[in-house]
A and B are shown apart, each in its own frame.
Chain A
Amino acid sequence: MNQDSPDRKLAQLFERQRDEDRRTAPFFTPVQSAAASSARRARGRPSAVRLALAASVVGAAILGIQRGIPYARDRANESVATAEAMISWQSPTDWLLVNYADPALASVTVTGAAWSDALISPAKATSNLEL
């Protein structure tokens, strides 16, 4: 630092300031012990970073659940609709599988009756007899 007049004057002004500050300076022990007690409290406390991390994880979980519930509901509804559609589905070629011999084979043949009697409904048979 130069010792010419303005610098010296500045130095004087700063020196006066230093003296003034020295008078108002707090004692070391209270400041240090306050910092030490804060440090003790801080040791048993999670840090701000950890708290922020935990909060963000919880927030993300809540957000995920909030968005996930309607999606899951839609998916469930879709599944029910699909199942219903599958149950009611009929093949367009189902008629090819109809076997006209089935009614004849479903009952025991009566002696004296023609096998074709089973194909004729009882009402029709009665009307035929009347004729």
Chain B
Amino acid sequence: MNHPVQPVQNEGLDASALRQQLEHNHVAAFGWALSCCRGQGTDAEDVLQNAYFKILTGKAQFAGRAEFKTWLFAVIRKTAIDAHRRVLFRRAWLLMFALRREPDEPFEPSGAGANDRQSMQELFQRALAGLPPRQREVLHLVFYQQMSVQQAADVMSVSVGSARQHYERAKRRLHVQLSASPVFHESGLARSKTRPAV
């Protein structure tokens, strides 16, 4: 039987409170890890596990300056960036030996049996994956995690103004990408224009 690891003391949080907070935010954290890993489930699990590892070993310590969720998301983001960097390095290394990565498949809506909702969701995922990382992140944090732009800026370690710009550009860009598909027009999203964020 494994004994639980005593986490390094975090600001105002003992071991059980820390575990409780992690468990409470686990599903949302997985969603965020998925977003940081461009929807790759296994990568997201690894990133999440590594982030928990950092927290349990005290490499990442909660100083209490932000909300726990904001801090946790920042740790996950940093972990995902590190993991992505390692992958890039490995890929560059492999390229030196003339191994080429297969190009991404172009988007084609699901076959005749698939419903509109699924097609729209696939289109949406593709369009989202096509956004620059910061734009994708801010949209995810605001819409998916229902954070404010300020909280998103804290997670992304950027100023609120910068986060707001990313947010507006992301919405515009997503709109342009989605509107290029007939599935989007059928969904009714094309009928109105976006308004600036509050």
Contacts and interface: CB of A to CB of B under 8 A. Distances in A.
Given A7-B194, A9-B187, A14-B140, A39 B121 contact: no
Interface in A12-55: 13-18, 20-22, 24-26, 28, 31-40, 42-43
Nearest to A7: B194
A31 B48 contact: yes
Interface residues of B, number: 45
A52 to B, nearest CB: 16
Contacts of B171: 6-7, 10
A7 B2 contact: no
Given A1-B198, A2-B195, A25-B30, A36 B121 contact: no
Interface stretch (B20-28, B61-69, B93-101, B102-110): B20-28
A15 to B, nearest CB: 8
Given A4-B192, A17-B121, A32 B52 contact: yes
Contact of A35 (B30, B34, B53): B53
Given A6-B175, A35-B49, A25 B27 contact: yes
Size class of the contact patch on chain A: 20 to 34
Interface of chain B: mostly helix, strand, loop or mixed: helix
B72 interface: no
A33 B48 CA distance: 12
B19 interface: yes
A5 interface: yes
A13 B174 CA distance: 12
Contact of A39 (B5, B144, B188): B5
A7 B172 CA distance: 11
Contacts of B117: 16
B81 interface: no
Interface in B145-198: 146, 171, 174-175, 187-189, 191-195, 197-198
B49 A34 contact: yes
Max chain A Cβ within 10 angstroms of own Cβ: one of B5, B27, B140, B198: B5
